């Protein structure tokens, strides 16, 4: 059974700092990995999707990497801003299926001005 | 472009009352549709998903049910709410065909349900 873990549960940094969020999964046979952002009281917004054949995916100040063999992904945020404050979640499709995602519990990021 | 709508945004209901939450998707056909519940400290829990009209898969035994009466409409219901049904309910969709193998999942803004 696939399990997804995100450590730390919360992170507080000063504005301008570069930071890394971590995601690990137990079964490396994944199709892809997605990173989402959730603002308080809101739904999830898809940030990046990395296919299993890719090692990196970039969007603006965000860079996500994937190491399937070690069961890890990182989300790198460059030059953090207070507007980046949110909860970041990662998710992978369940083993053998294409209809369901397994989510981590997220990392709550606070960027202090 | 595709959009997803959920309503209501917030709901306060007494224990034992019925529930109906609605979700619709625009700008696509035959999407895969999902209902999740998010409770504090417990992460996202998949409740139901549907790959077509009338096709519902249930993930968690509970007093909730889901229906898909139209291609882009997904409804979450209960006949009698329990205190434990409180939470943040999210609807989501993915394009048909490859599903989550190659496509991101898109979420609505959620419904905050409080049971008194």
Which pLDDT does position B98 carry in this prediction? 65
* Interchain CB contact of A57 with B (< 8 Å): no
Element (H, E) at B80: none
Q: Which of B49, B45, B67 is nearest to B58 (CA)?
A: B49
Provide DSSP, A53-89: T-SEEEETTEEEEEETTTTEEEEEESS--GGG-EEEE
Percent composition of chain A: helix, strand, coil (DSSP 3-state, to 5): 5, 55, 40
| Sign of the C-alpha dihedral computed for residues B87, B36, B103 and A28 taken in this order | positive
The pairing of beta strand B10-13 with beta strand B111-115: parallel
**How far apart are the C-alpha atoms of B102 and A25, rounded to whole Å?**
18
**How far apart are the C-alpha atoms of A10 and B14, rounded to whole Å?**
34
pLDDT tens track for A40-97? 999 999 999 999 999 999 999 999 999 999 999 999 999 999 999 999 999 998 866 5
* Interchain CB contact of A51 with B (< 8 Å): yes
Is the per-residue pLDDT at B106 higher than 70?
Answer: yes
Tokens read off for B29: 């056909």
**How far apart are the C-alpha atoms of A90 and A103, rounded to whole Å?**
6
Closest chain B residue to A103, measured at CA = B44
pLDDT tens track for A3-32? 999 999 999 999 999 999 999 999 988 889
- Residue written as tokens 């419904």? B111
Which pLDDT does position A81 carry in this prediction? 97
Separation in Å, CA of A6 to nearest CA in chain B: 11
What is the DSSP code (8-state) at residue A94?
P
Separation in Å, CA of B6 to nearest CA in chain A: 10
């Amino acid at each position: 059974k696939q399990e997804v873990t995100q450590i730390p549960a919360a992170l507080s940094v000063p504005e301008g700092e570069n930071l890394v969020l971590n995601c690990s999964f137990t079964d490396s046979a994944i199709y892809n990995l997605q990173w989402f952002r959730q603002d308080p009281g809101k739904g999830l917004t898809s940030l990046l999707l990395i296919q299993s054949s890719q090692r990196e995916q970039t969007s603006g100040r965000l860079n996500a990497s994937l190491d399937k063999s070690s069961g890890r992904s990182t989300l790198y945020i460059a030059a953090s801003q207070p507007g980046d404050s949110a909860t970041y979640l990662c998710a992978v499709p369940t083993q053998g299926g294409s209809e369901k995602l397994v989510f981590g519990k997220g990392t709550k990021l606070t960027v202090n001005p | 472009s595709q959009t997803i709508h959920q309503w209501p945004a917030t709901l306060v209901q007494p224990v034992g009352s019925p529930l109906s939450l609605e979700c619709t998707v625009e700008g696509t056909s035959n999407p895969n549709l999902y209902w999740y519940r998010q409770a504090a400290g417990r992460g996202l829990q998949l409740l139901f998903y549907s790959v077509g009209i009338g096709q519902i898969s249930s993930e968690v035994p509970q007093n909730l049910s889901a229906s898909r009466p139209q291609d882009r409409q997904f409804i979450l219901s209960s006949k009698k709410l329990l205190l434990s049904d409180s939470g943040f309910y999210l609807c989501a969709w993915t394009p048909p065909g490859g599903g989550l193998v190659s496509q991101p999942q898109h979420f609505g803004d959620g419904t905050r349900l409080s049971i008194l």
